[in-house]
């Protein structure tokens, strides 16, 4: 349900939204200074978790439910006695999955935490985004609002923001801790390339704001003229996520740039674009490019090449905080699909990319952006130094948000961006390997409870004394999709990898 508004209606909605957003400042005095391992929130504060995957991609219900459950790490905040969480999902979450997260909570009884957790669902198994399902049910919106004891101390925590998430916050009458949807363009592929250029952040050679095949051919011709030996390029839809909307193109063995034969040759070459999404075809891809726009840029390649990311947060006060760095684990035909991450990124280049990310963070803060976001980079070793290229901004929570916040909420530690090291309150460094994509048809033999039993039987569960072990996510999809996510936390990078690999071995042996 995408609501169509007149310009006047949009302006009125944003007037209400802007007034609500001012309420974030006093709320931030509570939640902003609190630390999971230190100070506690002193007044009752309600967080309405809206894990709606509001993107223009089709997800069947099982996949949608799995992603909605990915934000269950927010339940770890229930260790703070004045926090109340309203968690929204398309269908009710199995109680044993909720119990799994509550059992991990330190320093609080499960019964106390459960009193402060309210689950509300439309029981809608369609493939529409969750926020649509809620907005089209006024009675359910009333139920959510009635579950908030104090509207002055409540806010929405969405996965990402569109006009629909804004409408949701306005209807509830509470602010939203996330980027204003009016800043949507900053998170598009074209928008971030423009910001990189304006802020002096190195990024691949290319072109943005491309609409359709003809403009793409023209951009490719210009790029070849500037760099005749360019080997491969990547084309991206403006609003693609996790590699979807990406396609690679080989430019070798084409007529000379700007020659009479080049245009026709480029048009023919486009027909063999290599898509990251298996079921994408050429006609659909070009139609989407024409309607939504996109970019084309040189595909950076090299022997020692990595794909790190930097996560930042901008507070309602305009403060920029560097939260974490990760080395992304990528898959797909040309390595463009996010599969997981290792934390933190290699300290050889971690501080370098955080400095570049901070430039973008300061720009966003100046514009008025708030909330969490991430920058993706490509880094490669060239002789005596590392080179970095910024390639993408994710103006939302992403695949690295839940593993990092799970670690943070459970240990109360802090990431030192200058050193590229995370330490617990006790000063112990921690590392992890995380994935959303551990998948096999054979895993469908398992139930969530069988998964929990495997973790316990092999002593892989998270240990609060040592702050090591496995934290699972996307649990319900083990029996529907044969898929599960996890974060393996260790004392060293090698220890985290060892725990991760041991879990995979245990899982595979259980279904063999």
pLDDT digits (tens, 9 = 90+) for 159-186: 999 999 999 999 999 999 999 999 999 9
Residue 75 lies in a domain: yes
- Residue whose token pair is 């006047």: 8
Count of CB atoms situated within 10 Å of the CB of 189: 27
pLDDT digits (tens, 9 = 90+) for 190-200: 999 999 999 99
392 shares a domain with 341: yes
Residue 184 lies in a domain: no
309 shares a domain with 283: no
394 shares a domain with 261: no
129 shares a domain with 79: yes
Q: Mean per-residue pLDDT for 41-52?
A: 86
Residue 455 lies in a domain: yes
Residue pair 67/59 in contact (Cβ under 8 Å)? The answer is yes
* Angstrom distance (rounded) from CA 20 to CA 450: 45
Residue 105 belongs to domain spanning: 7-178
pTM of this structure: 0.92
Cross-strand pairs, 296? 207, 235
Q: Mean per-residue pLDDT for 483-487?
A: 97
Does 207 have pLDDT greater than 90?
yes
pLDDT digits (tens, 9 = 90+) for 382-439: 878 899 999 999 998 888 999 999 999 999 899 998 888 999 989 999 999 999 999 9
Residue pair 304/380 in contact (Cβ under 8 Å)? The answer is yes
Q: What is the CATH number of the domain that holds 158?
A: 3.40.50
pLDDT digits (tens, 9 = 90+) for 137-166: 999 999 999 999 999 999 999 999 999 999
Domain boundary among the residues 178, 213, 240 is at 178
Q: Which phi and psi angles does 142 have, rounded to 5°?
A: -65, -40
Report the b/e string of 247-274 with b at 16+ CB within 10 A. bbbebeebeebeeeebbeebeebbeebb
- Residue 44 pLDDT class (50, 70, 90 cuts): confident
Q: How many helices (H) and strands (E) does the chain have?
A: 17, 20
Query: What does each C-alpha distance from 218 to 81, 136, 319, 435 come to in angstroms?
Result: 60, 44, 41, 39
Cβ-proximal residues to 281 (8 Å cutoff; 6+ apart), any chain: none
Q: What per-residue confidence (pLDDT) applies to 36?
A: 43
Q: What per-residue confidence (pLDDT) applies to 505?
A: 97
330 shares a domain with 283: no
- Residue whose token pair is 């430019």: 251
Q: What per-residue confidence (pLDDT) applies to 2?
A: 53
Q: What per-residue confidence (pLDDT) applies to 338?
A: 83
Residue 193 lies in a domain: no
Does 293 have pLDDT greater than 90?
yes
Mean pLDDT score of the chain? 92
352 shares a domain with 212: no
Q: Mean per-residue pLDDT for 208-214?
A: 97
Q: What is the DSSP string of 164-185?
A: HHHHHHHHHT--BSS--GGGGG
Domain boundary among the residues 252, 274, 298 is at 298
Does 73 have pLDDT greater than 50?
yes
Number of domains in the chain: 3
284 shares a domain with 372: no
170 shares a domain with 126: yes
Residue 402 lies in a domain: yes
Q: What is the CATH number of the domain that holds 493?
A: 3.30.470.20
483 shares a domain with 391: yes
Residue 458 lies in a domain: yes
Q: Mean per-residue pLDDT for 303-324?
A: 93
Residue 322 lies in a domain: yes
Q: What per-residue confidence (pLDDT) applies to 243?
A: 66
Q: What per-residue confidence (pLDDT) applies to 491?
A: 97
Residue 196 lies in a domain: no
Q: What per-residue confidence (pLDDT) applies to 382?
A: 80
- Residue 310 pLDDT class (50, 70, 90 cuts): very high
């Amino acid at each position: 349900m995408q609501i169509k508004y007149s310009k006047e209606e949009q302006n009125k909605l944003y007037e209400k939204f802007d007034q609500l957003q001012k309420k974030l400042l006093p709320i931030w005095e509570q939640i902003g200074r609190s630390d999971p391992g230190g100070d506690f929130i002193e007044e009752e504060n309600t967080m309405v978790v809206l894990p709606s995957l509001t993107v223009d991609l089709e997800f069947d219900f099982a996949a949608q439910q799995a992603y909605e459950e990915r934000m269950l790490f927010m339940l770890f905040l229930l260790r703070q006695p004045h926090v109340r969480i309203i968690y929204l999902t398309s269908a009710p979450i199995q109680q044993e999955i909720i119990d799994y997260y509550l059992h991990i909570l330190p320093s609080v009884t499960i019964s106390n935490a459960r009193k402060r957790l309210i689950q509300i669902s439309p029981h809608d198994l369609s493939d529409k985004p969750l926020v649509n399902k809620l907005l089209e049910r006024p009675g359910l919106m009333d139920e959510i609002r009635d579950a908030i004891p104090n509207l002055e101390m409540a806010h929405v925590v969405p996965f990402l923001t569109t006009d629909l998430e804004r409408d949701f916050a306005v209807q509830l009458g509470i602010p939203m801790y996330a980027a204003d949807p009016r800043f949507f363009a900053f998170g598009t592929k074209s928008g971030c390339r423009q910001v990189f250029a304006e802020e002096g952040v190195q990024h691949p050679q290319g072109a943005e704001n491309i609409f359709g095949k003809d403009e793409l051919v023209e951009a490719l011709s210009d790029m070849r003229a500037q760099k005749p030996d360019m080997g491969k390029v990547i084309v991206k839809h403006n609003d693609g996520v996790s590699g979807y909307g990406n396609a690679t193109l080989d430019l070798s063995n084409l007529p000379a740039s700007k020659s009479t034969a080049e245009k026709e040759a480029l048009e023919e070459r486009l027909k063999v674009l290599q898509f990251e999404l298996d079921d994408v075809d050429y006609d659909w891809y070009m139609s989407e490019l024409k309607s939504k726009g996109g970019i084309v840029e040189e595909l950076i390649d090299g022997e020692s090449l990595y794909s790190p990311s930097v996560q930042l947060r901008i507070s309602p006060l305009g403060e920029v905080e560097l939260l974490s760095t990760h080395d992304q684990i990528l898959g797909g035909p040309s390595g463009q699909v996010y599969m997981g991450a290792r934390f933190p990124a290699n300290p050889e280049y971690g501080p370098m990319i955080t400095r570049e990310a901070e430039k973008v963070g300061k720009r966003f803060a100046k514009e008025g952006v708030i909330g969490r976001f991430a920058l993706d980079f490509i880094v490669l070793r060239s002789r005596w130094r590392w080179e970095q290229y910024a390639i993408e901004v994710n103006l939302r929570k992403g695949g690295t948000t839940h593993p990092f916040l799970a670690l943070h909420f459970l240990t109360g530690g802090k990431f030192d961006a200058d050193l590229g090291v995370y330490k617990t309150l006790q000063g112990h460094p921690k590392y992890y390997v995380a994935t959303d994509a551990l998948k096999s048809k054979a895993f469908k033999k398992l139930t969530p409870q069988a998964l929990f039993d495997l973790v316990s039987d092999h002593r892989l569960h998270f240990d609060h004394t040592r702050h090591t072990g496995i934290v699972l996510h996307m649990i319900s999809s083990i029996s529907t999709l044969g898929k599960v996510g996890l974060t393996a936390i260790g004392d060293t990078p090698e220890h985290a990898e060892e725990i991760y690999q041991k879990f995979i071995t245990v899982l595979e042996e259980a279904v063999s």
